[in-house]
Amino acid sequence: MDNETGSRDGWRGGATTRLEAFVDAAFAFAVTLLVISAERIPDSVESLLVALKQVPAFAAGFALLALFWYAHVRWSRNYRLDGAIATLLSLLLVFLVLVYVYPLRLLLGTFFAWISGGWLPMPLSNITGAKQIAFVFYGLAFASMPACMGGLYLLAWCRRARLGLDDGAAATAAGEVAAYVYFCAVGLLSATVVLLLPAHAAPWQVAIPGSLYFLLSLTGLVHMLGRRAALRRLGGVAVQEAANA
C-alpha cells in the first residue's frame, strides 16, 4: 500500500478488489437463475415455443438485476471505499439479490401472462393465494436491496472529507441516498398494501400493489431534491466554517 492510499482511511485506491469480482459473479449467477428454460433444454418445437414465450419476463428481470449491478459498479468506481461497513453492505446486497431472483421471476412471469391474456405462460399454479404472498416477499426484497445501495452512498457522504469530494460530488451522493430511500419506501408501501387487502380481493384491488411501482418514475425528481438539499446544507456549513475562522 502506498503512502497516499494509506493516508486516506477506508479508501482502497484504483485497484479492483476480490469483493468487486465476487459481487459481479453473484449477479451473473442470479441472471442464470432467470434464464429461459432453466429447468431443461427444449426437446420439441412446442417446448421451444413455450420457452421462447418466457423471453419478455427474462428481459425485464435482467434489466432490473442489471440496474442494481450497475448501481454498485458506479458507486465502486466513483468512491473506491473499503472497510468493514462497505464490505458488509456489499455482501448483504449479494445475499438479497440471490433471494430476490425467484420472486422476481414469478411476479414478472405473472405480469406478462396477465397483460397477454394468458398467451404467455403463467408461472404460478395457485394464483389466488400465491400472488399476494409473492408480492409481499417481492416488496420486502425490493426494499432491502435499495437500502444496501443507499447505505453505501450514505457512507460516501459521511466520508466526503476523507475522499476529497467537492460540493457537487458530495451532493450527488446525497441525492443517491434520497433516491434509494424512495425506492425502499415504494417497496414497503406495496408490501403493506398487499397485507391490507381483503381475503377475497377484487382483481382491481390485487393490481394495486404492482401499480404502485410506477411511482418509481418520480425517482429522478427525488434525486434532484435530495441533491439540492445537500447543496444548501454544504453551503451553510461553509458559511459557518468561514465565520468561525
Q: If you average pLDDT over residues 181-210, what whole number do you get?
A: 84
Chain mean pLDDT for the chain: 79
How confident is the model at residue 196, as a pLDDT? 87
Neighbours of 152 (CB within 10 A): 25
Q: Return the C-alpha cell found at 107.
A: 411476479
Does the model's pTM come out above 0.75? yes
Q: Is 215 exposed, middle or buried (0-12, 13-18, 19+ CB in 10 A)?
A: middle
Please determine, for residue 123, whether its predicted confidence score (pLDDT) is greater than 90.
no
Confidence of residue 12 (pLDDT cuts 50, 70, 90): very low
Nearest to 108 by CA among 71, 68, 55, 41: 55
Residues 200-245 have pLDDT tens digits of 777 677 778 878 889 999 999 999 999 999 999 888 655 455 554 5
Secondary structure of residue 11 in the 3-state scheme: strand
What integer pLDDT is reported at residue 41 of this predicted model? 63
152 pLDDT band (50/70/90 cuts)?
A: very high
- Furthest-apart CA atoms within the chain: distance in Å: 78
Whole-number CA gyration radius for the chain: 21
What confidence category does residue 129 fall into, taking pLDDT thresholds of 50, 70 and 90?
A: low
**Mind listing the pLDDT tens digit for each residue in 82-114?**
788 999 999 999 999 888 887 777 777 776 776
pLDDT of 179 above 90 = yes
User: What 8-state DSSP symbol labels residue 79?
Assistant: H
